[in-house]
A and B are shown apart, each in its own frame.
Chain A
Amino acid sequence: DQQVKQNSPSLSVQEGRISILNCDYTNSMFDYFLWYKKYPAEGPTFLISISSIKDKNEDGRFTVFLNKSAKHLSLHIVPSQPGDSAVYFCAASENNNDMRFGAGTRLTVKP
């Protein structure tokens, strides 16, 4: 039961351009969404989150957009840097319960 889907397994972007990572979910009761970044041989690290009462949250180069009617969220990274190359996981939870993760998108930022 894949409640959180990241349909693009990989994304390649030129340094300095915008990276847009997408995530779709099926459970309309999800009320909290997070993005995690994972480097090889390391555990995921928290990046940014958004509550369902908002439609945008910004932190430096990272912005998360939430479209509840479409059950879609996206992570924008601008400008992209080579150090951003990693696997990005989208996660969602309902009523402060356990997180459900997507399969991840591997971002490659080319210098």
Chain B
Amino acid sequence: NAGVMQNPRHLVRRRGQEARLRCSPMKGHSHVYWYRQLPEEGLKFMVYLQKENIIDESGMPKERFSAEFPKEGPSILRIQQVVRGDSAAYFCASSPQTSGRAGEQYFGPGTRLTVT
């Protein structure tokens, strides 16, 4: 059973470009969470999704950021018109339906976004 997969592992974008980060949850998991880790800081919650639904996006910046988890395919975190401050490690986690939002989450290896 493969773990949570994220790609790409490293992504370099110039200011103003778009960044697309993908996350495939563990098999059987229907809940996906995105976190951002800035240098020297902990993980910050961004968004919580279930299949085809955004449940909680209270941690997402109001502009330029969006997320989706379609019926088929991976979850996508999209950042439009990236700025240098978007440089961070972005982690995706998944959990089974029964674990609750605060239950044990399984994390992917992360995508390190660098904006030049």
List residues of chain A with CB under 8 Å of any chain B CB. 4, 6, 9, 32, 34, 36, 41-46, 49, 89, 91, 93, 96-104
Chain A residues, CB < 8 A from B104 = 34, 46, 49
Could you tell me if B43 and A89 are in contact, using CB atoms closer than 8 angstroms?
A: yes
Could you tell me if B105 and A96 are in contact, using CB atoms closer than 8 angstroms?
A: no
Is B28 an interface position by the 8 A CB rule? no
Question: What CA separation (Å) do A101 and B58 show in the bound complex?
Answer: 15
Could you tell me if A97 and B102 are in contact, using CB atoms closer than 8 angstroms?
A: yes
B85 to chain A, nearest CB (A): 18
Chain B contact-residue range equals: 20 to 34
Could you tell me if A96 and B40 are in contact, using CB atoms closer than 8 angstroms?
A: no
Please, which residue of chain B has its CB at the minimum distance from the CB of A42?
B109
Q: Using known A-B contacts A44-B107, A45-B107, A98-B59, determine if residue A89 contacts B91 with beta carbons closer than 8 Å.
A: no
Could you tell me if B105 and A103 are in contact, using CB atoms closer than 8 angstroms?
A: no
Could you tell me if A103 and B91 are in contact, using CB atoms closer than 8 angstroms?
A: no
Could you tell me if B45 and A99 are in contact, using CB atoms closer than 8 angstroms?
A: yes
Question: What CA separation (Å) do A41 and B45 show in the bound complex?
Answer: 19
Given contacts A91-B43, A98-B33, A101-B44, 18 further A-B contacts (CB under 8 A): A4-B42, A9-B40, A32-B102, A42-B109, A43-B93, A43-B108, A44-B43, A44-B107, A46-B104, A46-B106, A96-B103, A98-B48, A98-B58, A98-B102, A99-B105, A101-B45, A102-B42, A103-B40
Q: Using known A-B contacts A44-B107, A98-B48, A98-B56, determine if residue A104 contacts B102 with beta carbons closer than 8 Å.
A: no
Chain B residues, CB < 8 A from A104 = 42
Chain A residues, CB < 8 A from B45 = 98-101
Could you tell me if B102 and A43 are in contact, using CB atoms closer than 8 angstroms?
A: no
Could you tell me if A98 and B42 are in contact, using CB atoms closer than 8 angstroms?
A: no
Could you tell me if B41 and A103 are in contact, using CB atoms closer than 8 angstroms?
A: yes
